[in-house]
Structure 1
């Protein structure tokens, strides 16, 4: 197995876990500051999870031959352009929130999450900057291709948003319940 593929799989797994963690922390924050918690849930949990799921769905469907190559290229390029910038901005916020959670909770697991958030944000920023114009060119070429399907793109994005919402909202509610339960006793 190629080391690059193995690293991609590891990053995908970790990039699924981190939005769940951020959604859980956003639920805890919502117990005290509802508006801030919902904002952080949306931008730190829901959208990053949808981003990762759209990439995974596009890759799997592309490998299995259910979508055209140009559709898969467009999804990967578009996701890199739009969600990539969002991931960088909110990665900084997630790193800050994880650091606050680590300091207040004195939990070594939260410290590991903080370290990963910092590393992933730096890695994502480097990848975004180095591939911006390439992604823009690839997205334009994919749209001009004869086998490009807007319907496939919409279905993949709607599926990723739906599944991302279900997963992260469950984590958000658990965080909210955890924060409320702690102060009832």
Structure 2
């Protein structure tokens, strides 16, 4: 098996776990600060989970032969362009939140999380900026292809958004019901 494929699967699995964890934490935050909790839920749970599910659905359906190559390329490029920018915005918010926690608690654990958040956000931003135009070009080429299907695109995106909402909202509600815990 290819190392890149193995790493890709690991990163997608970690993204699912982090999205669920962020949704749970957003529920806890919502008990005392509703607007902040909803923002954290949307940017840290729901949208990243939608991104992962759109990628997984696209890859599985393309592998099984249900999606054309151009539709698959469009979905992967579009997902990266839209959700990639959202992940960068979330990374900035997560880094600032972690930094505030680190400064308030003086915890080395919080410091490690802050350093990771900062590194991941810088890496994601660099990757997004350097691949932006190639993803736009790929998406435009895919649309112009004769085997492109907007119906397939809409079905996959609606399915990914719906499944992501169900998964992350369940975690959000559990976090909302939980006792507030602090480090």
TM-score normalised according to structure 1 size? 0.87
State the partner residue of 1:154. 154
Superposition deviation, residue 107 in structure 1? 8.7
State the partner residue of 2:16. 16
After TM superposition, the structure 1 stretch with the greater mean CA deviation from structure 2, 158-167 or 118-127, is 118-127
Superposition deviation, residue 56 in structure 1? 1.0
**Retained in 2: the 8 A contact 1:25–1:172?**
yes
Q: For residues 24-66 of structure 1, what are the alpha-carbon distances to aligned partners after superposition, in whole Å with 9 as ceiling and x for unaligned? A: 1111110111111112211221011101110111011111111
In structure 2, C-alpha distance between the alignment counterparts of 1:119 and 1:17, rounded to whole Å: 19
Distance 1:142 1:171, change over 3 A: same
Q: For residues 67-103 of structure 1, what are the alpha-carbon distances to aligned partners after superposition, in whole Å with 9 as ceiling and x for unaligned? A: 1000000000111111111110112212333555677
State the partner residue of 2:163. 163
In structure 2, C-alpha distance between the alignment counterparts of 1:143 and 1:151, rounded to whole Å: 12
State the partner residue of 2:82. 82
Distance 1:113 1:49, change over 3 A: farther
- Tell me how many residue pairs correspond in the alignment: 181
**Retained in 2: the 8 A contact 1:26–1:40?**
yes
Superposition deviation, residue 126 in structure 1? 2.1
Unaligned runs of 5+ in 2: none
In structure 2, C-alpha distance between the alignment counterparts of 1:173 and 1:124, rounded to whole Å: 29
Superposition deviation, residue 156 in structure 1? 0.3
For 1:88-103, list aligned pairs within 5 A. Answer: 88-98=88-98
RMSD: 2.3
**Retained in 2: the 8 A contact 1:22–1:94?**
no
**Retained in 1: the 8 A contact 2:77–2:139?**
yes
Distance 1:182 1:46, change over 3 A: closer
Structure 1 runs of 4+ aligned residues shifted over 3 Å read 95-120
Q: Do structure 1's residue 143 and structure 2's residue 132 form an aligned pair?
A: no
In structure 2, C-alpha distance between the alignment counterparts of 1:98 and 1:5, rounded to whole Å: 31
TM-score normalised according to structure 2 size? 0.87
Distance 1:134 1:107, change over 3 A: same
State the partner residue of 1:65. 65
In structure 2, C-alpha distance between the alignment counterparts of 1:113 and 1:45, rounded to whole Å: 17
In structure 2, C-alpha distance between the alignment counterparts of 1:116 and 1:6, rounded to whole Å: 22
Unaligned runs of 5+ in 1: none
